[in-house]
Amino acid sequence: MDHAGRYRSVFAYCALLLLFVAGVVAAAAPVSSDPAQLLRQAESIQPSNHTEFNELMRRLDELTMRLSPQQELHRRYLAARQIAFAGNYAAALPALTAIADQTVDPVLAFRASASVIDLLVAESLYEEAFARLNPLMDQLPKIKENDVRMQGLGVAAQLYNEAGQYDASIRYADQIIKESTNAESACRGWFYKSDALFESGSAQLPIDQLHSGTEACGKAGNTLFSLSFQYLLASFDMRQGRHESAVRLLQASYPEVLQAGFPPQVSEFEATLAKAYWKDGDLASASKFASSALTTNANRPYSESTANAYQVLYEVDKKMGDSSSALANLEKYVVAEEGYLSRLSAKTLAYQIVKQKVLAKKLQIDGLDKKNKILTLQGELDRQAAETSRLYIVLLLLVLATIAVWTYRIKRSQLRFMKLARRDGLTGIFNRQHFVNEAELQLHYCRKSSRDACLVLIDLDHFKAVNDTHGHAVGDRVLQRAVTACKAHLRSTDIFGRLGGEEFGILLPECTLAQVLVLAEQIRVKIATASADEDASDIPISASFGISSVVHSGYELRQLLIHADEALYRAKRKGRNRVSIINHPECDNSTTRDDLVDGNPHLLQGTSTFRSAPSEQANE
């Protein structure tokens, strides 16, 4: 997962936790037999204080017969809140949904609805979460209690940020800052705002925002949001390549994070520390914190921190020369990252679908309203001349045609959003998830018809140096240049995708290993000699290639990826800018690129590694 990945896991879980602990914060009072007072006391207790909370709930159970219907709903809300805090979202969700729909208390209904939205996000039910958000925000002006308003505004800021609607998220965050009555609420608002700025791609925080957010979170103490704000500052440092600064920030807050004991936050700190240490060259510390993150994250296999931890372990094992462990961690990294990216795509797509549904419903209502008005006019004008009546009928048809056009445009927009979800935003080729889906489908067809197929993995050489030296904008143009060079040699049936960072994959159906070796060498030369644009004219690029074939690896994409990655790793190890295939009994000889130039393509039947010409090796 590249350095511009999303840091949202702790954000979502902190919001969920603070939704449950928000309420009337009061000093502990002696236990009474008054149901109203018992409910207030239970409301003010942190969910982590199990003993005191359970005692109050036991007393309320004893007084069930004395509770009014509204008090009983309040008691059920508290019980569901505790179930959700324990991590049993599936059990808490229907209970909270029923309370939100049944209670006549607007404050309790608002709080239950806000909790339902966060639980829907936790259960990956993003479309339902967005569908409930608009009615919740419609009720916000009627809510006067400040802590309850903070819940609603926080839900909106979080959900819009999750969907990539950063301007809307920042608006709600600014409202939290403006309405906050204590340091913790202000810290929460600054965190929401800073996180939206980070996710929008900014490399740093404005000075005034950094000062205000740090000051508010400092006054709040070691709350989950103040610790998350420190984590976010470290993330900005990581984005700018200041790894040592990120390590200092994370290590300073790590003891308090461990003491707070909130697993998603602990795992994010540990995974980011592992990545920072790896970037800084401290492999032992990187491995230590990556392993800790996986232990902490045992029940969250598809989180970003899990994927980051496996990536660090893979890179460390590869650096140490432990190929077996590296391949095992690579496989786990691919699975975790695919699950995480699927959740991100689902959030964005759910937002667009709900947005289109709202627009379609509004257009439908407007259309029906216009139709009713026209029908009324038509009834009044029936007494007039036939020519006048026909005129209004034509007008009605025009309105209906307008509705049909809008319906068509909405459908076309939905199809466009679905297409965007399958493409890499920078290069326009398949993203990892869609590449895997299409490749597995094509391999299935090849297996049924016993056809050849080969997989090529491409990794740009020294790409990190390009980013560090020239900046990410130039690095993006280098990636686009390499993709253009590849496309020039591919067929319409070939499957081409970006697997992550500077790594690409090509599945070539109905191609023998000899044909693919010739094609890979042509692409390698094309990348190395591609004409540069004026913004990156002084930046030479080259690529290393790893190739696997169904003849030797079978038709399973997983095995093809493992063998191609082994070949790619060997190409890197032997000097880069070359084509390599996985070792097998029929491929144990070697030839140079000059053999191809001399017109001896039959030599490819025994080729193991292609080396660059001496002049290119000297340029490396």
Selected residue with higher pLDDT from 535 and 613: 535
The answer, yes or no, to whether residue 294 has pLDDT greater than 50, is: yes
Of the two residues 337 and 190, the one the predictor is more confident about is: 190
**pTM: predicted TM-score of the whole model, two decimal places:** 0.47
With a pLDDT cut of 70, the percent of the chain lying above it is: 77
Task: Using pLDDT thresholds of 50, 70 and 90, give the confidence band for residue 357.
Answer: low
Distance CA(541)–CA(461), nearest Å, equals 7
pLDDT at position 279 over 70? yes
**Residue 523 pLDDT level (bands cut at 50, 70, 90):** very high
Question: How is the chain split into domains, by residue range?
Answer: 1-130, 293-421, 432-619
d(CA 114, CA 138): 12
Predicted local distance difference test score (pLDDT) of residue 9: 47
CA distance 91 to 84: 8
pLDDT at 145: 87
Reduced to 3 states (helix: H, G, I; strand: E, B; else coil), residue 599 is: coil
**Rounded mean pLDDT of 17-36?**
53
Q: Which residue has the higher pLDDT, 161 or 507?
A: 507
pLDDT, mean over the chain: 78
**147 vs 62, residue with greater confidence:** 147
Residue-wise pLDDT for 455-510, tens only, equals 999 999 999 988 888 888 888 999 999 999 999 999 999 999 999 899 999 999 99
What pLDDT sits at residue 557?
95
Residues 6+ apart with CB under 8 A from 302: 336, 339, 340, 342, 343
Identity of the highest mean pLDDT range in 280-289, 375-384, 415-424, 484-493: 484-493
Candidate from 88-92, 144-148, 272-276, 430-434 with smallest mean pLDDT: 88-92
- Three-class SS of residue 449? coil
| pLDDT beyond 50 at 218 | yes
Residues pairing with 548 in the sheet:
455
Pairing of strands 453-460, 503-509: antiparallel
Q: Does domain 432-619 have CATH number 2.60.40.10?
A: no
Section 288-308 average pLDDT: 81
Q: What is the 3-state secondary structure (H, E, C) of 120-185?
A: HHHCCCHHHHHHHHHHHHHHHHHCCCHHHHHHHHHHHHHHHHHCCCHHHHHHHHHHHHHHCCCHHH
For the chain, the distance separating the N- and C-terminal CA atoms, rounded to the nearest angstrom, is 27
Is the predicted pLDDT of residue 189 greater than 60, yes or no?
A: yes
Cβ 110 vs Cβ 143: under 8 Å = yes
Residue 584 confidence (pLDDT): 53
List Cα–Cα distances, 22 to 44, 80, 108, 115, 169, in angstroms. Answer: 8, 15, 12, 11, 20
Please check the confidence at residue 201 and state whether its pLDDT lies above 90: no
What are φ and ψ of residue 587, in 5° steps? -130, 70
Express each pLDDT in 545-599 by its tens digit: 999 999 999 999 999 999 999 999 999 999 999 999 976 544 433 333 333 333 3
Backbone angles phi, psi at 65, to 5 degrees: -65, -20
| pLDDT tens digit sequence for 420-429 | 677 888 899 9
Q: Dihedral sign for Cα 90, 94, 99, 101, please.
A: positive
Cα distances (angstroms) measured from residue 27 to each of 42, 87, 379, 460: 11, 27, 69, 61
**Residue 496 carries which DSSP code?**
E
